[in-house]
Homo-oligomer: A and B are copies of this chain.
Amino acid sequence: MRAVDLNADLGESYGSFTVGRDAELIPLLSSANLACGFHGGDPRVMDRAVGACSAAGIAVGAHPSFPDLVGFGRRVLEASAEEVETDVLYQVAALDGFCRRHGVAMQHVKPHGALYNHANRAPEVARGVAAAIASYDPDLLLVCQFGTELARAGQEAGLNVAYEGFLDRAYNRDGTLVSRSVEGSVYHDRGKATEQALRMVTEGTVVAIDGALVVLEVDTLCVHGDNPRAVEFIAALRDQLDAAGVVLTSMRDVVQRRAGRA
């Protein structure tokens, strides 16, 4: 029986600047990536987000970013491996303070925005991310895409990785995402998104934008809650995963099942 985790980015508000639909999303997820102050998520937001996830029984992970609040962590910063490593360690540890306070064991780390994308292809940056996690707690899962530099760096650092799949994005035949600037790179058709999600989870494949069949592992599906209809959609996706016999469970559980299969 297949299993998958559903993750989303939460706790990205900052001070009086409130963003996201955390309260609506939490009941639909199995894991949450929580901002750590560098792109969103001040200490009050972090505290409340950990508390809300804990109350709902969903797993918590850190969502560290380049230090770029005004750019919401979406711009690449030419940071050294040491800068990435220490910035990530700082953020992961800071979030863990709130986990301790709520009696929650942190499950995973997923780099945010430009740091995530950059770590997919820049080995030095990937190594910085992985080293930070390994030095803080080698039991933390590293969320990354299958076949990327970040996945490689995580494995070399001795981490367990959780492979992430994107249901509403087109893939290239090398397993990377098609750039948003390309026509057709983002799916607006929900049927297409659901179909891609089911295929990734049940068959371990995705059909690339050029028609090629790509083999990949997917332990966790990334969902976005930017608009009210997203919530509706995620509920429908959960029903379809259920109908296809896919168990929705925590990222750690999915990764362990995959290890058991291997």
Contact = CB atoms under 8 A, between A and B. Distances in A.
Contact of A78 (B15, B47, B75, B93): B75
B43 A87 contact: yes
Interface stretch (A94-102, A171-179, A200-208, A213-221): A94-102
Contacts of A101: 89, 135-136
Interface stretch (A64-72, A153-161, A189-197, A236-244): A64-72
Nearest to A134: B101
Given A86-B47, A96-B93, A77 B67 contact: no
B16 A72 contact: yes
Interface residues of A, number: 46
Interface in A81-108: 82-83, 86-87, 89-98, 100-101
Nearest to A91: B94
A114 interface: yes
B43 A86 contact: yes
B93 A100 contact: yes
A79 interface: yes
Nearest to A71: B15
Interface of A: 13-19, 37, 40, 42-44, 46-47, 67-72, 74-79, 82-83, 86-87, 89-98, 100-101, 114, 135-137
